[in-house]
Structure 1
Amino acid sequence: MRIFLTLLLLMSIQEIIAQNPITPPGMYIADPEAHVWKDGKLYIYGSRDESDDYWCSYTHHVLSTSNLTDWDITENVFASKGENDQVKFHDNLLFAPDAAYKNGTYYLYFCSPGKPKIEGVATSKNPNGPFVNGKQIKDAFGIDPAVLIDDDGQAYYFWGQGKPKVAKLKPNMMEIDKSTIIYPLDEKGNVAFHEGSSIRKIGDLYYLVFADDSRENRPTCLGYAIGSSPMGPFEYKGVIIDNYNCDPSSWNNHGSIEKFKGQWYVFYHRSTNNSQKFRKACIEPIYFNEDGTIDEVEMTSQGAGKPLNPTNRIEAEWTCGLSGNVRVSTISKKDIISEGLSEIKNNDTAIYKYFSFEDKLTSFEVKTSPNSEGIIEIRLDNAKGKLIGTITIKPKNENTAYKISTGSIKKINKGKHALHFTFKNNSDSEFSIDWFKFN
């Protein structure tokens, strides 16, 4: 099933914007492996979260775009059970995949938990699938496959948890040469490596990107290492991005880097719903230094686009940093699925980066649930920045579906700014936010 979704807000006489996350409310695609194929479009292959009781799901979707703003979502391109079941030898969950293209065929590399963990491959003539005839890759027992086809046509297969492994793929792209299996990462990298290999060649260098647990005793970072050969050795270089503050229960990160229309990006995920699961794919631009290293980048709300226009409606779930109890979650199930900030407690905070302030703005408007009660303190740039407004939200007694509250704001200097919200409320009061905007 193919769905066209414009993941942006179109308001009358307002600019088109892109934002993080790139998946719509109610859809959770994690472990984004991005590729630009011969049609010039960018495709993301990832796992799909569907429950807090287990990781991932039994199906894969594919995201695709021509501009990083408008996205196609092709659903159920591959399944391990149920409709479109293409894995006849088990009915296990599907963890993080990767994809490759060679001689007119697209290859989807999949993996599943179990004893032992299983890795496999399915094929299609279309980058959106459906991928069919899933076959096990013998001698590759683990998770999180990644594939690189080098300039000479030789393909390499990466996988593993705790330590990465690499082996040459045979010409059929479905078998590894067992005799070539090695551990390609240096000692420092092996200490940081958790799982989630992703491999790219950039110029004469090879970049191994992976879930990195060198901070906070959890793999919230995407780290990387550089080598002069696809078999390594790869020298650990550091962190590209850290999603530690995306959710109170954020546990891991997993993603890739890819060049699209002249710009390199990192593709990663953020947790939601105060859960290690329910993860959403996000994008940030990245930049290389002359020595080939990559500068660490921060999470933003704007993602691949320009700074957001504060007079547009800003969805509350676009936050790029949370502290306290507050989390992104579904806030309405009555009609269209909506997400926002919920379960807000006293002194919780939320950060939004970045906005381009141009016009003289005088007021702030916020949509909340009708029973919401509390105060929002709005500061520029950081937690100790200029206090530009204090918005008081009072509950409504009427039987209404939502409430709009407004308040005045102080002068904001033109330019690029982050917004830092601090919430104040009683411990037993309800407080959730759907969207906000400036006028």
Structure 2
Amino acid sequence: MTLRVKNGIMHLNLLNIEYRRNFDMNPLLPLDQFVPDGEARQHADGRLYLYGSLDVPGDDSYCSCRYRVFSSDSLTHWTDHGVSFSTSDGAAGEFEGNRLYAPDCVCKDGVYYLYFCLSNGREAVATSGSPAGPFSDPVAVIGADGDGIDPSVFIDDDGQAYYYWGQFSLCGARLKENMRELDMSTVNRALITEQEHGFHEGASVRKHNGIYYLLYTDISRGGASCISYAMSRSPLGPFTKGGVVIDNTGCDPKNWNDHGCIAEFNGSWYVFYHRATNNSCFSRRACAEPITFTADGRIPEVEMTTQGTQGPLSPLPVLEAGRACLLSGAAYIESRLEQGVYQEYLSHIQDGNWAAYKYFDFGQAAVSGFTMAAANGRFDSVYSARVELRLDSPDGTLIGTLDIPPTGGWTDWRDFSCPVQPVQGRHALYLVFHGDLGRLCSVKEFHFIA
């Protein structure tokens, strides 16, 4: 591989050379799909199906009038099954015209039940013979309709189904055999509460080794950024708070909430959650991380990563800068169509900002250089941006420094390279930015050179 040198800076034309890229990582789905509030279920065909809301980038409200279902047999390659249900095509009857908030989907006796809530507070269920839908014939959930948001359904080992719903104070009850009506004699309107458990919304129930785990959006750390869990020996409680499973603080400057579940897939357990992007709380993406259980049934808190459900990444393939799992300062992940392809990049970077990528395995790669596709919208050569490559923290070991001189536009990409110090083992990479005059640069992608 030949690097060319201009003005003392090594350049490599990434855009004209094909590299094997990392794809099996966070966020999980294609970059033009924004699916928050994920409920993951492994159904009878062995595939894991991901149900969630559907955000529209650039919108100023949560969710949309459509649901879209994705599935995977590996958690690395996802199939887009298209729109599974809509309230904007005339087929939703009395529920037409309202935005669809967080859903859940379970199977009983060969029928798949899609439970959903709407922006006007209604709750309903539609059915299908397929886990991917399309779902049709929606009817109100009698006993919960008009009473809250974020339905969750759990079917116990004996076949009894339970329904959970609400905000601030969680309600729960048995579902009748028709799966459309609550047994009102079993209703508990305070399974967990904001005051005692930090419960905000987004309940989800699973069972593992005889313990019922109630996952929920937790505001105990100041915002609705945590997915926490409570534990019980009964599906209707009482529940005792266990702790935080994951906290998405730091994924975007305007991040507000988190919502997801834990799910078993082929014997392993994962937490599914979402991250905000685009400097907006209305453009959220599905992500996942592996979790474990301690001997006493607790779930240790896990961190957000770039690698997601798979092992550490190779440092050699090209990595999109939008895969950052943590951001600081004004920097955020911005989206745009570029030559007909949906792209994301790191944007609006200022002095002292950083972006983190966790984790890389340098054990099999004797890296000697680093290359970045970046842009600097300034025209005066005085205003170069400087990028420090640090390991494991913003103040960690410095392994290289890269300069990004003006390119004439904030998406006028050029390729810049620098040598790096030898690295061994598993490390997080922090890109730390420095410079003057506010906005410094944008970053599209990067990779290490062996």
**Normalised by the shorter chain, which TM-score bucket?**
over 0.9
1:276 CA displacement = 1.2
Where does residue 148 of structure 1 map in the other structure? 154
Task: Provide the aligned length of Structure 1 versus Structure 2.
Answer: 424
1:90-114 deviation line (CA, Å, top 9, x unaligned)? 4110000000100010000000122
Where does residue 140 of structure 2 map in the other structure? 136
Paired residues of 1:17 and 1:308 also in contact (CA < 8 A): no
Where does residue 4 of structure 1 map in the other structure? none
Q: Classify 1:154/1:184 alpha carbon distance in 2 versus 1 (closer, same or farther; 3 Å).
A: farther
1:265 aligns with 2:270: yes
- What is the aligned counterpart of 1:194 among 190, 193, 200? 200
Give the TM-score of the pair, scaled to structure 2: 0.90
Where does residue 407 of structure 1 map in the other structure? 418
- What is the aligned counterpart of 1:62 among 65, 69, 72? 69
* Paired amino acid for 1:137: V
1:319 aligns with 2:333: no
Q: Distance in 2 between matches of 1:400 and 1:315?
A: 14
Paired residues of 1:157 and 1:176 also in contact (CA < 8 A): yes
Where does residue 6 of structure 1 map in the other structure? none
- What is the aligned counterpart of 1:379 among 377, 387, 390? 390
Q: Distance in 2 between matches of 1:107 and 1:350?
A: 41
1:188 CA displacement = 7.8
The CA RMSD measured in Å over matched residues stands at 2.0
Where does residue 125 of structure 1 map in the other structure? 129
Where does residue 437 of structure 1 map in the other structure? 447
Paired residues of 1:162 and 1:190 also in contact (CA < 8 A): no
1:254-289 deviation line (CA, Å, top 9, x unaligned)? 000011122100000000111111000000000000
Report the secondary structure of 1:244's partner residue. Answer: coil
Mean Cα deviation higher: 288-297 or 186-195: 186-195
1:278-313 deviation line (CA, Å, top 9, x unaligned)? 000000000000100000000000000110100011
* Paired amino acid for 1:240: V
1:326 CA displacement = 0.4
1:91 aligns with 2:97: yes
Where does residue 309 of structure 1 map in the other structure? 314
Q: Classify 1:169/1:397 alpha carbon distance in 2 versus 1 (closer, same or farther; 3 Å).
A: closer
* Paired amino acid for 2:129: K
Where does residue 60 of structure 2 map in the other structure? 53
Residue segments in structure 1 that go unaligned for 5+ positions in a row: 1-10
1:344 aligns with 2:349: yes
Mean Cα deviation higher: 425-434 or 236-245: 425-434
* Paired amino acid for 1:380: L
- What is the aligned counterpart of 2:399 among 370, 374, 388? 388
1:428 CA displacement = 4.5
Q: Classify 1:15/1:371 alpha carbon distance in 2 versus 1 (closer, same or farther; 3 Å).
A: closer
Q: Distance in 1 between matches of 2:410 and 2:170?
A: 57
* Paired amino acid for 2:446: F
Identity of aligned pairs, percent?
42
* Paired amino acid for 2:161: A
- What is the aligned counterpart of 1:368 among 348, 370, 374? 374
1:169 aligns with 2:175: yes
Q: Distance in 2 between matches of 1:190 and 1:278?
A: 30
Q: Distance in 1 between matches of 2:193 and 2:204?
A: 18
1:12 CA displacement = 7.2
* Paired amino acid for 1:40: G
* Paired amino acid for 2:214: L
Q: Classify 1:400/1:422 alpha carbon distance in 2 versus 1 (closer, same or farther; 3 Å).
A: closer
- What is the aligned counterpart of 1:44 among 35, 43, 50? 50
- What is the aligned counterpart of 1:254 among 259, 264, 269? 259
Residue segments in structure 2 that go unaligned for 5+ positions in a row: 1-16, 379-383
Q: Distance in 1 between matches of 2:19 and 2:346?
A: 27
* Paired amino acid for 2:425: G
Give the TM-score of the pair, scaled to structure 1: 0.92
Q: Distance in 1 between matches of 2:346 and 2:19?
A: 27
1:74 CA displacement = 1.8
